[in-house]
Amino acid sequence: MNDSCAFKPRMNLKWMTGFILALCVQLVQGLSVHFKIPKPIYVALGRDLVLDASIEKNVEENIFMVTWECSSDKGARRLATFPGKTQDPKISMEREGTTLRIAGVQESDFGRYTITVTNQDGIQTSDEKDVRKHEKPSEATVVLLCDVSRDEAQWDSPVLTWLADGVELTNQTANMSDGGSKLHLQGMKGHNYTCISNSSLGTSVAQFIIPDSTESPDGCRSCAIPTVIVSLVIVLAVIGIFLLLRRNRLLRYTPPSDRNNSISQ
């Protein structure tokens, strides 16, 4: 009897604890906030930083306040509160506080950002994101796309092969992505690019030729047109000097009487 009586309070306490935890989870589960990009975000000095968050809530819930904070080695600081105004003119909020924008990022702006959302009942939820400094600007590149029609069903995927001036390209000699369908031309020196597609549907070949008619002997296409203009100016200057010297020579050997007659006429 004693054991059974001692067992019931334990079960009741365990049941009550589980019920309270479940109730808390149910209350909080209706409100959540998360960043649209879960990975750390990189930004260079002097550029603009934009952090986007998304809030999920029940229909009957109202957002009472949205706050943004940044933590770094120098400590934590509050950046903005919605509704409200920011103290720093370079910081602004959009979309009812779920988007934070910082213009002209400085060293002090790198760190861990936290967005905290509070509803009308005082329940809070938050999410964090690391903002790191990007040291080197990303290089722009031109990409050739080899697109194969998939209108008809087939059992295999096309195998793509790229040629540059007749020489086959590999991952060691060229920058290819998306299974070889994209060829990045950064650092490439070819003029005739060929994409060959092999599959159960057959073989298809596509070519892309970079015109080199305006290329100068040293390989500088942009220098070709200015070089032509400079050459034309030099030729015209030489012709002008030649005509001027010829005129002076004729005047030098013309008798004075003939010069006077020519002037009077």
Tell me the three-class secondary structure of the chain, residue by residue: CHHHHHHHHHHHHHHHHHHHHHHHHHHHHCCEEEECCCCCEEECCCCCEEEEEEEECCCCCCEEEEEEEEEECCEEEEEEEECCCCCCCCEEEECCCCEEEECCCCHHHCEEEEEEEEECCCCEEEEEEEEEECCCCCCCCCEEECCCCCCCCCCCCCEEEEEECCEECCCCCCEEEHHHCEEECCCCCCCEEEEEEEECCEEEEEEEECCCCCCCCCCCCCCHHHHHHHHHHHHHHHHHHHHHHHHHHHHHCCCHHHHHHHHHC
Query: Which amino acid makes up residue 235?
Result: V
C-beta neighbour count of 116 within 10 angstroms: 17
Average pLDDT, the chain: 81
pLDDT of residue 25: 47
List the one residue out of 201, 193, 192, 200 whose CA is nearest residue 176.
193
Q: Is the predicted pLDDT of residue 85 greater than 90, yes or no?
A: no
Residue 145 has φ and ψ, to the nearest 5°, of -110, 125
Query: Which amino acid makes up residue 170?
Result: T
d(CA 213, CA 18) in angstroms, rounded, equals: 79
pLDDT of 127-137, one tens digit each?
A: 999 999 998 88
d(CA 98, CA 34) in angstroms, rounded, equals: 10
Q: Is the predicted pLDDT of residue 215 greater than 60, yes or no?
A: no
pLDDT of residue 242: 75
The model's pTM is 0.54
d(CA 41, CA 111) in angstroms, rounded, equals: 10
| Residue 141 tokens, joined | 């590149």
CATH topology of domain 41-133: Immunoglobulin-like (2.60.40)
Give the CATH superfamily of 143-209: Immunoglobulins (2.60.40.10)
Which residue in the block uniquely carries the two structure tokens 């509704």? 83
Which residue in the block uniquely carries the two structure tokens 């796309």? 145
| Residue 53 tokens, joined | 């968050």
Q: Model confidence at 113, in pLDDT bands (50, 70, 90)? A: very high
C-beta neighbour count of 135 within 10 angstroms: 8
Which of the residue ranges 74-83, 136-145, 156-165, 187-196 would you say has the lowest mean pLDDT?
Answer: 136-145
pLDDT of 136-165, one tens digit each?
A: 887 778 889 998 877 777 888 889 999 999
List the one residue out of 181, 184, 195 whose CA is nearest residue 145.
181
pLDDT of residue 263: 47
Beta strand pairing status for 75-82 and 111-119?
unpaired
